[in-house]
C-alpha cells in the first residue's frame, strides 16, 4: 500500500509539472525517495497534503481535459493521504 501511494504521488507530481520535477530531482527514483521520506514525518506529511490541496485549487480553475484528469487524481491522492495520516496521529496520541 505505502509503495503504491509513494509511486502514485511521484507520478502525479511529474505529470502535474514535469519541468519542476526535473529541476528538483535527478531522476524518478530521487523524487520517489523524497516523497517516501515525507510520508514518515508529520510536518512533511502535512506540507505534502497542503501542496496537493493547493494543486487541487489550481486545477479546479482550469478547464481542459488534462486538468480535469489531474484534478480527479489529486482528489483521490488527498483522500489516500488523509487515510494514511489518521493511523499515524492515533499512534502519536497513544504514546
Helix (H, G, I), strand (E, B) or coil at 87: helix
For the packed helices 42-61 and 28-38, what is the interaxial angle rounded to 10 degrees? Answer: 120
Residue 19 CA to residue 38 CA, distance in Å, equals: 21
Per-residue pLDDT of the chain (95 residues; tens, 9 = 90+): 789 999 999 999 999 999 999 999 999 999 999 999 999 999 999 999 999 999 999 999 999 999 999 999 999 999 999 999 887 555 555 54
Q: What is the pLDDT of residue 92?
A: 53
Query: How many domains are contained in the chain?
Result: 1
Q: What is the pLDDT of residue 1?
A: 77
Residue 25 CA to residue 17 CA, distance in Å, equals: 12
Q: What is the pLDDT of residue 79?
A: 96
Q: What is the pTM of this model?
A: 0.87
For the packed helices 2-16 and 65-94, what is the interaxial angle rounded to 10 degrees? Answer: 140
Residue 7 domain boundaries: 2-94
Residue 60 CA to residue 19 CA, distance in Å, equals: 21
Amino acid at each position: 500500500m505505502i509503495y503504491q501511494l509513494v509511486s502514485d504521488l511521484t507520478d502525479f507530481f511529474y505529470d502535474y509539472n514535469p519541468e519542476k520535477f526535473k529541476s528538483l530531482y535527478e531522476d524518478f527514483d530521487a523524487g520517489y525517495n523524497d516523497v517516501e521520506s515525507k510520508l514518515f514525518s508529520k510536518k512533511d506529511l502535512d506540507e505534502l497534503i497542503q501542496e496537493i490541496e493547493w494543486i487541487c485549487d489550481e486545477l479546479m480553475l482550469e478547464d481542459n481535459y488534462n486538468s480535469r484528469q489531474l484534478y480527479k487524481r489529486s482528489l483521490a491522492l488527498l483522500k489516500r493521504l488523509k487515510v494514511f495520516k489518521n493511523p499515524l496521529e492515533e499512534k502519536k496520541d497513544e504514546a
